[in-house]
Amino acid sequence: MLLMAFSMSACGWSDPPPDQTAPAVAADGSSQAASTEAVVSATDQAACATAQSPYRDFDFWIGSWDVYDATSNDLVGSNTISRLAGGCLLLEQWRGVLDNTGTSMNFHDPLQGAWRQVWQSEGVFIDYQGGLDDDGVMRLQGTISYHKTGKTAPFRGSWQLQQDGSVLQILQQYHAETSQWSGWFSGIYRRRQPPTE
- Does 32 map to a domain? no
CB 82 within 8 A of CB 103: no
Q: Does pLDDT of 4 surpass 80?
A: no
- Does 22 map to a domain? no
- Does 48 map to a domain? no
CA 167 to chain centre: 18
CB 29 within 8 A of CB 155: no
What pLDDT, on a 0 to 100 scale, did the predictor assign at position 24? Answer: 52
Number of separate domains in the chain = 1
What pLDDT, on a 0 to 100 scale, did the predictor assign at position 80? Answer: 98
What are 28-63's pLDDT values in tens digits? 555 554 444 555 565 566 678 777 889 999 999 999
- Does 165 map to a domain? yes
Of the two residues 5 and 102, the one the predictor is more confident about is 102
CB 37 within 8 A of CB 22: no
Q: Does pLDDT of 10 surpass 60?
A: no
Specify the amino acid at residue 47: A
**What is the C-alpha to C-alpha distance for residues 49 and 115, in angstroms, rounded to an integer?**
15
Distances (CA, A) of 127 to 19, 65, 105, 152: 31, 23, 10, 11
Q: Does pLDDT of 6 surpass 80?
A: no
Strands 75-84 and 138-146: unpaired
Q: What is the DSSP letter of 132?
A: E
Short-list 2, 43, 39, CA closest to 23: 39
Specify the amino acid at residue 164: D
Helix/strand/coil percentages in the chain, nearest 5: 10, 45, 40
Strands 101-109 and 89-96: antiparallel
- Does 125 map to a domain? yes
Q: Does pLDDT of 100 surpass 60?
A: yes
Domain region containing 105 = 62-191
DSSP string of 142-191, one letter each residue: EEEEETTT--EEEEEEEEEE-TTS-EEEEEEEEETTTTEEEEEEEEEEEE
- Does 73 map to a domain? yes
What count of other Cβ atoms lies within 10 Å of the Cβ of residue 61? 18
The CATH number of the domain holding residue 84 is 2.40.128.20
- Does 147 map to a domain? yes
- Does 53 map to a domain? no
Classify residue 59 by burial, with Cβ atoms within 10 Å: 0-12, 13-18, 19+: middle
Q: Is the pTM of this model over 0.85?
A: no
Of the two residues 41 and 71, the one the predictor is more confident about is 71
What pLDDT, on a 0 to 100 scale, did the predictor assign at position 50? Answer: 76
